[in-house]
Structure 1
Amino acid sequence: MTVVVGYTPSAEGQAALDAALEEAGRRGESLHLVNVGQSDASNDPKFLDEGEVERLRARLSAAGVQFEIEQLVRGRDAAEEIVDAAERVGASLLVIGMRRRSPTGKLLFGSQAQRILLDADCPVLAVKATH
């Protein structure tokens, strides 16, 4: 089985990764990290550059869990990509980070986290970053 984590280089992404590493270790499962970029990933602050990928590889290796890092740039919505990845790898758990948004922000921009919570076929652990 596998724990899947939706990751962005942010406080929310870091909180999700911390929780996913803890769950993978506790369960004795592998970790599948998903990072989604927009069609122009070179200008997307949520998409990991090579240096960030290498730092993540070092951290995950040091944690002692088997892992895979998947970066997707297909122009699809991040929530859709993360849910699809969880289904594809047969995730036992999907971990996402959340941030506080105003009601207006949710109305205007939707909520990736809400879509993941509603669409995922496996349990979802949503964590907030501590500030």
Structure 2
Amino acid sequence: MGCYPALQGNLYCRILSIPYSLSEIEMMLAFEMFIVSNAGNIQNPSPFNQALQIVLKRKEEDDVCLSDNDYHAAMSRLMLAAQNTNPKLGIKYATVNVCKEQVFTLDHLSALKWLNKNMKWAGKVWLFS
């Protein structure tokens, strides 16, 4: 917390939009920022909270038509990015939105595990150095 630049827009946004053009590493960093920005909701869930969602964007500004192969490759990178975090993040396919973009949900328990482990790590590195 405080290691990333301020997020624009709603700080407690429950939806992470990931452009298809991001690399696996960039997707992992986006996951980290998203989890940290929603840390309060992850650590203290309420029955009224909606699930954290990840939307794999099909288009970016000024983009030409994206091929299905490129989009499927981006889906593979997204799944690998979730598996390569430490600890692994669980993301599950949820639906397709009206823009024909894939929507996933972030597993709450895996996000909580990730947050707890990385907060302990950050405490050791930043507070005890």
If the TM-score is normalised by the length of the shorter chain, which range does it land in? 0.3 to 0.5
Structure-2-length-normalised TM-score: 0.34
- Structure with the bigger RCO (C-alpha within 8 Å, sep 6+) is 1
Larger radius of gyration: 2
